[in-house]
Amino acid sequence: MGAELVRGQNYPLPRTRLEILISAGVPVLVAAALGDEGGRVHDGHRIAHPGAPVLPGVEVPRAAAAEHRLSVDLGELSEAVHRATVLLALPERPGAELRFGATSAPRATVTDADGAEIVRFTLAGLDAESAVVALELYRRQGGWKVRAVGQGYAEGLTALLADLGLPEAREVAEAMHEAGRLGVAQAADPSEVRPSEGGPVDYAHPGRQVSRQPQPVAGDAPGWSMEERLYNQVWGMFEDLARATAALRSAADFAAARLDRELDEALADPRARIGGAGDAARQAAQARHDELMGRARAAHDRDLAQLIAEAEVVEPALPPAYARWDSPVWLGHQMPSEPPQAVRLGDLHLPESAALRIPMLVRLPLERGLWVDSGATPADFNDSAERRRLALEVAVALAARLLAVHPVGEFAVEVIDPAGAGPLGALTRSGALTGPPARGTAGVAQALESLTRRVDLVRMAIGVGATEALPDGIDSARRLLIVNDFPQGFDDRALNRLRFLADEGPAAGVHLLLVADRVDAGEYGPLLDPLWRSLTRLTPSPDDHFADPWVGHAWTFEPSLPPQGGAVLQQVLGAVSDARIKGK
């Protein structure tokens, strides 16, 4: 018997030739949409549905039915296809508005070509939905996985197809429903469903072998370069860990709810209170709970082990922009000739998988500024002075990384430090700063005025397509502005200029990095709220304030810092300084 999946859980597919069995209490339409690496379906010719049931590698039934059998050969799909989404829809009927909540829960079972069950998934919990994404088959580490999705759409099939990115969603939905109307009488009897006239898909692959658990390979993801493939692979690991954790938590919630219900039912039955019947019922309920949790934990442990193995080969292969500070790639680091696509801000992990750290990569140029929070966090017991020192250490490490991974002269760092209390020695000694840190209220005003003027001029030059005509003294290099101990030294005018830089600066090559305690800035009230919301919050100590876009887990963030007592930061900044001197 195959694995029983819960919503969000994934499972490796040991074969590429598959059959997917759909069982529902009423006739349903079935389709398979072929998407790119983001799951987007670009046109109606990449959907197999009752009106057009055959695509290379995929065949679906021609009519609505309560029982379906889909044929899939993942090896036949083109390299452009990274996800095959299996979806169900209730046929439209005049005068009737059927919803999945009024039927028995549909069930999807994936088998190999010989009929051996791999996984099964019951689409429970549906209510007002008339269309639902049942399963998703997707490429991973040179092989394929299946994910239990179960996402329903109360707005119907058109909304589902539009969510997949299909431009002609309405037209395809209408074609599917028309095919359903033509075949609904026939579909009442599953035995009447016949293969298409073209016959079954030819699955012959002489000598083809697929490993049950492919060995992880660094860069095994779509992309035009190794750097892009590694970036996509890291985010694929992040998504897989999010889904695996969601499956474990969902199973725990389901098991606990079922245990509570069964115990309540046992206590409500007077017969269970006589003799040992009550104890037997409670023990049986607890055993079912433990068995379900055991299977859920085993599935999670299996997925986690795969991801840990993948991390062990991916981490050493990361380029400097993505790498940890203790990576060997920093030894003898040379300035690059091209800017990177992304940069590592730190690591992310979840409590169920504390041993696995996923690099937090963000695209460059930075569309949002960064705020390194020097305030207290629940896990931080340092005094305020030590928290400020650690926060600035994070800022310096980020600035050093950005300088080191950009070509000489294409990135610069400017600092506003009104009180002059920041330990910026490493940056100052490297000569990487555009000038001495701005001090006092007057220095803050002058620095912000200069940057505001720069942004205005660059925006105008970009607008008219004349960036080569910028005045002397206005360079086109990207710039990071570090503001230490914000909002000390800032008046209302300076605050407005800073907000302008946060909003308009990125498009003109100016990016913000604030080191600040949110509580200290409370005296400004709501004036700063738009600024805070526009920045990405980082912390110098572990803090679970990030949420993923799929299931909303609270991820713990840890900053990327050089090893204590090591010289890697000074060596990297020294290489930056040497390269700048040689380039002059």
What is the DSSP track for 455-469?
HHHHHHHHHHT-GGG
- CA dist 371 and 198 (Å) reads 60
CB-side neighbour CA atoms (13 Å) of 398: 32
Q: In what order do the strands lie in the sheet with 478-486?
A: 411-416, 478-486, 510-516, 369-373, 535-538
Our count of domains for the chain comes to 3
Q: pLDDT tens digit string along 412-451?
A: 899 998 877 666 767 777 667 878 888 889 999 999 999 9
Residue 574 has pLDDT above 60, yes or no: yes
Q: What is the average pLDDT across 310-320?
A: 94
- 169 in any annotated domain: yes
447-457: buried (b, 16+ CB within 10 Å) or exposed (e) per residue? bbebbbebbeb
Q: pLDDT: is 560 or 333 the higher one?
A: 560
Query: Do the strands 543-547 and 411-416 form a parallel or antiparallel pair, or are they unpaired?
Result: unpaired
Residue 571 and residue 484 share a domain: yes
Task: Please answer whether residues 134 and 22 qualify as being in contact, where contact means their C-beta atoms are separated by less than 8 angstroms.
Answer: yes
Residue 504 and residue 379 share a domain: yes
Q: Which of 262-266, 366-370, 468-472 has the lowest mean pLDDT?
A: 468-472
Q: pLDDT: is 93 or 479 the higher one?
A: 479
- CA dist 32 and 44 (Å) reads 11
Residue 198 has pLDDT above 50, yes or no: no
Residue 400 and residue 495 share a domain: yes
| Confidence bin at 463 (pLDDT 50/70/90) | low
Residue 172 and residue 62 share a domain: yes
* Cβ count near 526 (within 10 Å): 6
What does each C-alpha distance from 182 to 53, 94, 175, 228, 474 come to in angstroms? 14, 13, 11, 47, 69
CA 125: distance to chain centroid? Answer: 25
pLDDT at 33: 94
Query: Do the strands 17-35 and 107-112 form a parallel or antiparallel pair, or are they unpaired?
Result: antiparallel
Domain range for 134: 3-192
- 121 in any annotated domain: yes
Kindly calculate the radius of gyration of the chain based on its CA atoms and give it in whole angstroms.
Answer: 29
pLDDT at 86: 95
For the chain, the average pLDDT equals 83
327: its two tokens: 């990576």
pLDDT at 202: 33
Task: Please answer whether residues 551 and 246 qualify as being in contact, where contact means their C-beta atoms are separated by less than 8 angstroms.
Answer: yes
Task: Please answer whether residues 274 and 266 qualify as being in contact, where contact means their C-beta atoms are separated by less than 8 angstroms.
Answer: no
Report long-range pairs for 485-488 (Cβ below 8 Å, ≥24 apart).
Answer: 485/388, 485/417, 485/418, 485/419, 485/421, 485/422, 485/515, 485/516, 486/514, 486/515, 486/516, 486/521, 487/516, 487/520, 487/521, 487/524, 487/528, 488/418, 488/419
3-state secondary structure of 152: strand
Q: pLDDT: is 32 or 280 the higher one?
A: 32
Residue 529 and residue 429 share a domain: yes
Q: pLDDT: is 15 or 463 the higher one?
A: 15
Residue 344 has pLDDT above 80, yes or no: yes
pTM above 0.95, yes or no: no
Residue 53 and residue 129 share a domain: yes
Residue 582 has pLDDT above 90, yes or no: no
pLDDT at 204: 32
Q: What is the average pLDDT across 27-48?
A: 88
Listed residues 317, 334, 359: the one ending a domain: 317
| Confidence bin at 331 (pLDDT 50/70/90) | confident
DSSP3 helix / strand / coil % (the chain, rounded to 5): 40, 25, 35
Residue 356 has pLDDT above 60, yes or no: yes
Closest residue by Cα to residue 521 from 422, 373, 323: 373
Residue 207 has pLDDT above 50, yes or no: no
- CA dist 247 and 134 (Å) reads 15
| Confidence bin at 319 (pLDDT 50/70/90) | very high
pLDDT at 465: 64
Listed residues 317, 334, 354: the one ending a domain: 317
Torsion sign (Cα): 455, 456, 461, 463:
positive
- 37 in any annotated domain: yes
Residue 60 has pLDDT above 70, yes or no: yes
427: its two tokens: 């940056």
CA 389: distance to chain centroid? Answer: 31
Residue 238 parent element (H or E): helix 226-268
pLDDT at 84: 94
Percent of the chain with pLDDT over 90: 34
Residue 119 and residue 38 share a domain: yes
What does each C-alpha distance from 14 to 80, 116, 163 come to in angstroms? 21, 11, 29
pLDDT at 472: 59
Q: What is the average pLDDT across 518-547?
A: 84
- 514 in any annotated domain: yes
Residue 184 and residue 234 share a domain: no
- CA dist 34 and 70 (Å) reads 14
Residue 189 has pLDDT above 80, yes or no: no
* Cβ count near 383 (within 10 Å): 10
Residue 232 and residue 188 share a domain: no
Main-chain dihedrals φ then ψ at residue 148, nearest 5 degrees: -80, 120
Torsion sign (Cα): 533, 538, 543, 549:
positive
Residue 214 has pLDDT above 80, yes or no: no
345: its two tokens: 């801000």
CATH number at residue 55: 2.60.60.30
- 345 in any annotated domain: no
Measure the CA dihedral 454/455/457/461, to 10°: 130
pLDDT at 464: 64
Q: pLDDT tens digit string along 77-136?
A: 998 999 999 999 998 866 557 788 877 789 999 998 888 899 999 888 888 899 999 999
Residue 142 and residue 20 share a domain: yes
- 158 in any annotated domain: yes
CA 490: distance to chain centroid? Answer: 37
DSSP class of residue 540 equals S
| Confidence bin at 38 (pLDDT 50/70/90) | confident
- 323 in any annotated domain: no
Q: pLDDT tens digit string along 223-247?
A: 778 998 899 899 889 988 988 888 8
Residue 501 and residue 405 share a domain: yes
Closest residue by Cα to residue 449 from 511, 500, 512, 513: 500
Residue 393 and residue 510 share a domain: yes
| Confidence bin at 380 (pLDDT 50/70/90) | low
pLDDT at 185: 36
- 498 in any annotated domain: yes
Listed residues 276, 293, 317: the one ending a domain: 317
What does each C-alpha distance from 485 to 95, 417, 422, 425 come to in angstroms? 66, 7, 8, 16
Q: What is the 3-state secondary structure (H, E, C) of 489-526?
A: CCCHHHHHHHHHHHHHCHHHCEEEEEEECCCHHHHHHH
